[in-house]
Amino acid sequence: MKVLMGGFFDILHSGHILAMSIVKSHGDYLVINVSPDNRAKKKKGKGRPILSVQERVFCVDSLRIVDETVSVPYDEAWNEDDYQIICLKAIKPDVCIRPKNSKRISKFCKDNNIKMKVFRGITGFDRLHSSDIIKKINSIKEL
């Protein structure tokens, strides 16, 4: 079964890898969609992403647990659900792992025989984010 997980992966860390491991347990072929630079900038703000999409794809694709890495293009006119559905159409997974539920995406998955699972975080790692790592680096730099 092909399982899809998406994210920015801007400064890859242990929380990302643990999440990938848990996501892959829902299938046997893990596809990671790395969000393109223009989406990262829109969602994360000024100065982001730190690493280009090519660098982020290279890092994610280098992990043994990942079977395939893609980066579905993003049009800034789309809303979040539009982008997620375009990703689902392009990748055609058997299982879609999402951070939150969406009625529209849930309906799309049901209509296209895709299992959708909501994955909210990992105990102990749920407070680990690339943004926090960047803040920590900046605070060290200021010393």
Residue with the bigger pLDDT between 44 and 62: it is 62
Structural domains of the chain sorted by starting position, each given as residue range(s) with its CATH number in brackets: 2-141 (3.40.50.620)
Residue 60 has pLDDT above 90, yes or no: yes
According to the 3-state scheme, what is the secondary structure of 45-57? CCCCCCCCHHHHH
Global pTM value = 0.87
Confidence of residue 122 (pLDDT cuts 50, 70, 90): low
Cα distance from N-terminal residue to C-terminal residue, the chain: 49
Residue 71 has pLDDT above 80, yes or no: yes
Tell me what pLDDT residue 21 has. 93
The SS3 call for residue 44 is helix
Tell me what pLDDT residue 133 has. 77
Q: At what angle do helices 80-91 and 103-111 cross, to 10 degrees?
A: 20
Nearest by Cα to 134 from 63, 44, 72: 44
